[in-house]
């Protein structure tokens, strides 16, 4: 399933190849977010051109619309959205958590109201797995009880223990073994709770392990500690996934601590606001300032005829992209998204090369 191709002598970084039902993925890798079966503003051919290896969709949103039964009838999520490569689905735990006032957490699962229609839904660990199996995705996430920061240690402990109990139920419900199932280590910013979560989950022998609770309000400076408490204890022969993070420099730092997989809304969300990620200088990821960001809507770009970047958008000037945003042309969102996802995906390619060359 996971093959380690090379390990860094300078850090815990590793070059990997993850085998899935829809192809191999070279790691460390980044998953563009296709929450509702689409990466916002991009088509599948554009994703292929950007060399995306895997995308991430969401159980909760696809359950609400169009429904897993319809997607299953269409031949599965790959066929439905015309994406031939691997797909990972989040379990819906984070989305249910974000509903806060519209949900009620019980031992069996979570009762929540659709914020649009008001319809009541009850999502359980078993139902989350059933939906993901109907979607036919390559990697499924166990349904977890997500808790935000700040919270009392007692609250975090209760949530972590519920996540452990739900993980066992997800493992039991997992029938299609061609689909990989990952467990999620929780425990907030507390070392002993993280260690207890590991003790609960490791005997269940998941196909991979994710580290949750680092992108729901926790101080960013806690990330290094959380990874130090967890990563060294995870199975070496299984993929390690840091959920929902992060900034380019955070990804590089996490790779050095042994993380293989990432997802984040930053590149696509910031693109919609005109914030572009660009390489700085020689784009040396071993240096501190290897990238820069610009807000293309700023007045200083009105007469800037330099290309947006030197690769995918070298034929478009910054003045033109500024104009597209100012006139609210939809092409602006597409071009900005291409720029940012290309940056993130090329960042991962540079990281893999850095590990291969022994420089990271």
For the annotated catalytic residues, the residue numbers are: 90, 263
Distance CA 198, CA 20 (A): 24
The H or E element that residue 180 is part of is: strand 180-185
Q: How many Cβ atoms are within 10 Å of 293's Cβ, its own excluded?
A: 14
Q: What residues form DSSP beta bridges with 87?
A: 55
Distance CA 29, CA 259 (A): 9
Q: Are strands 139-141 and 87-90 parallel, antiparallel or unpaired?
A: parallel
Residue 255, C-beta contacts closer than 8 angstroms, at least 6 positions apart: 11, 13, 28, 351, 355, 360
- The answer to whether 288 and 360 have CB atoms below 8 angstroms apart is no
Number of H helices, E strands in the chain: 13, 16
Cβ proximity of 53 and 138 under 8 Å:
no
Within 8 A by CB and 6+ apart from 282, the residues are none
CB 296 within 8 A of CB 318: yes
Backbone angles phi, psi at 270, to 5 degrees: -65, -30
DSSP H or E run through 105: strand 103-105
Measured CA to CA, the distance from residue 333 to residue 325 in angstroms comes to 8
* Cβ pair 137, 77 in contact under 8 A: yes
Q: How far apart are CA 357 and CA 30, in angstroms?
A: 20
Residue 120 makes CB contacts below 8 A (sequence gap 6+) with 111, 112, 113, 114
Integer Cα distance of 45 and 43 in angstroms: 6
């Amino acid at each position: 399933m996971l093959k380690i191709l090379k390990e860094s002598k300078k850090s815990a970084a590793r070059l990997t190849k993850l085998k899935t039902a829809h192809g191999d993925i070279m790691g460390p890798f980044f998953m563009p977010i296709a929450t509702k079966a689409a990466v916002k503003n991009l088509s599948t051919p554009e994703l292929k051109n950007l060399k995306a290896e895997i995308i991430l969709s969401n159980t909760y949103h696809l359950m609400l619309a169009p429904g897993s039964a319809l997607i299953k009838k269409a031949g599965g999520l790959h066929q439905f959205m015309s994406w031939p490569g691997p797909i990972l689905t989040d379990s819906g735990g984070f989305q249910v958590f974000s509903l806060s006032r519209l949900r009620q957490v019980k031992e069996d699962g979570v009762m929540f109201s659709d914020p649009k229609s008001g319809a009541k839904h009850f999502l359980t660990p078993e139902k989350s797995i059933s939906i993901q199996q109907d979607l036919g995705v390559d990697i499924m996430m166990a349904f977890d009880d997500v808790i935000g920061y700040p919270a009392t240690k007692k609250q975090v402990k209760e949530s972590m223990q519920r996540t452990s109990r739900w993980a066992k139920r997800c493992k039991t419900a997992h029938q299609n073994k061609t689909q990989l199932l990952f467990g999620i280590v929780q425990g907030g910013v507390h070392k002993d709770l993280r260690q207890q979560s590991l003790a609960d989950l490791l005997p269940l022998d998941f196909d991979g392990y994710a580290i949750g609770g680092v992108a729901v309000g926790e101080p960013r400076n806690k990330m290094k500690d959380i990874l130090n408490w967890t990563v060294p204890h995870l199975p070496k022969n299984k993929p390690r996934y840091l959920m929902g993070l992060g900034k380019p420099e955070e990804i590089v730092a996490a790779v050095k601590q042994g993380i293989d997989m990432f997802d984040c809304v930053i590149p696509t969300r910031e693109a919609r606001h005109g914030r572009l990620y660009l390489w700085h200088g020689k784009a040396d990821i071993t240096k501190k300032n290897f990238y820069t960001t610009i807000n293309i809507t700023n007045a200083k770009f009105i007469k800037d005829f330099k290309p947006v970047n030197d690769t995918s958008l070298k034929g478009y000037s910054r003045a033109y992209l500024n104009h597209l945003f100012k006139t609210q042309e939809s092409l602006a969102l597409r071009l900005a998204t291409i720029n940012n996802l290309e940056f993130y995906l090329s960042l991962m390619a540079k990281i893999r090369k850095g590990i291969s060359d022994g420089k990271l």
